[in-house]
Structure 1
């Protein structure tokens, strides 16, 4: 009996020592305070990202939004719908890279359809980079139209919730701009996937 008491006491001392070591080594007091300063939705953003990453092992899949294009809608119709909705929602088409066509021309080998389309609202973009230059990496907003191995078409873009809710809570004006961009890009994708002009 005394042996068990001594063993449990030793285990307790080791656990306490380990907790103290971890607390100070990783500065957990500071980290907890920093986590409390994040946007209230940051937990959901990172839970989704980490869950997807662990399930797939693919950081790309963990950081994007994708929408499948309905069967029977041609890539040209999808692009036309994207550009039409963009104009309607006040965002400009600023780039078009027909990636698969470009590579096919260079290699002489057909490629699965891949086209990268870029959009920007300059008034919002300049405000965001003035607030944080790091947002320049998100510019312009990109939507990629791709064909999978089964011949289905998909639209991909960055998960904009990470930009909006992934850090400290944005000031009200920046939050409004971020949500406006998210609504615009996601609406463009959802409508284009249905061939809705």
Structure 2
């Protein structure tokens, strides 16, 4: 009887190990096949994001791009520079949200918070026609925010995963998506210096 129990235990172990191996082999194989259909830059974009998560411990920090504003440049000069660059790229400012509230007293002073919204309606329509989910990322936003030291920052969503994180976009859409990303990043880089 003891031998039979041991024999059945070994058979049960082999079956469990076989099931695990089969699951890993077929599930992993399925995932690898699906991953091979992604844009060639997808894995690099995800790894870059994951490296930032490991460094900061915060997914939110890994999903944004930030540029420090030159201390000699006024916030209004930053806004005007970004507006000019957007206009030159056929994008329009569709919103300006002032989030600072002078009535809030938190013991640290009143932090400057402002969100500027930009869009190219024709590009937005094409992307929503492609996938309704793109609408959740519109309009493009740039946050102007003051940190605890009084330094000001421009922060926007890093757009690499939207461009490269899935199947390769059709060529015309990729061109337009890269145009929007490049314009947003240019607005931040030059706007932070008051340049346009």
Q: TM-score by structure 2 length?
A: 0.86
Q: Aligned ranges for residues 108-147 of structure 1 at < 5 Å?
A: 110-147=109-146
CA distance in 2, matches of 1:187, 1:111: 29
Which residue number in structure 1 is paired with residue 7 of structure 2? none
Q: CA RMSD in A?
A: 2.0
SS in 1 for 2:102: helix
Which residue number in structure 2 is paired with residue 169 of structure 1? 168
Output one character per residue of 1:113-167: Cα deviation in whole Å (capped at 9) or x when no partner. 1100000000100000001111001100000011111111110001111110011
Which residue number in structure 1 is paired with residue 75 of structure 2? 75
Q: CA deviation at 1:18?
A: 7.8
CA distance in 2, matches of 1:196, 1:181: 19
Q: Does residue 159 of the first structure (1) align with residue 165 of the second (2)?
A: no
Q: CA deviation at 1:104?
A: 2.3
Q: CA deviation at 1:111?
A: 2.0
CA distance in 1, matches of 2:149, 2:88: 32
Q: Does residue 20 of the first structure (1) align with residue 21 of the second (2)?
A: yes
SS in 2 for 1:180: helix
SS in 1 for 2:40: coil
CA distance in 1, matches of 2:58, 2:105: 30
Output one character per residue of 1:60-114: Cα deviation in whole Å (capped at 9) or x when no partner. 10101111111211111111111111112210000000101xx324x36652111
CA distance in 2, matches of 1:78, 1:64: 19
Which residue number in structure 1 is paired with residue 102 of structure 2? 104
Q: CA deviation at 1:171?
A: 0.8
Q: Aligned ranges for residues 86-101 of structure 1 at < 5 Å?
A: 86-100=86-100
CA distance in 1, matches of 2:149, 2:73: 15
CA distance in 1, matches of 2:19, 2:69: 52
CA distance in 2, matches of 1:139, 1:148: 25
SS in 2 for 1:71: coil
Gaps of 5+ in 2: 1-13
Which residue number in structure 1 is paired with residue 182 of structure 2? 183
More helix by share: 1
Which residue number in structure 2 is paired with residue 34 of structure 1? 34
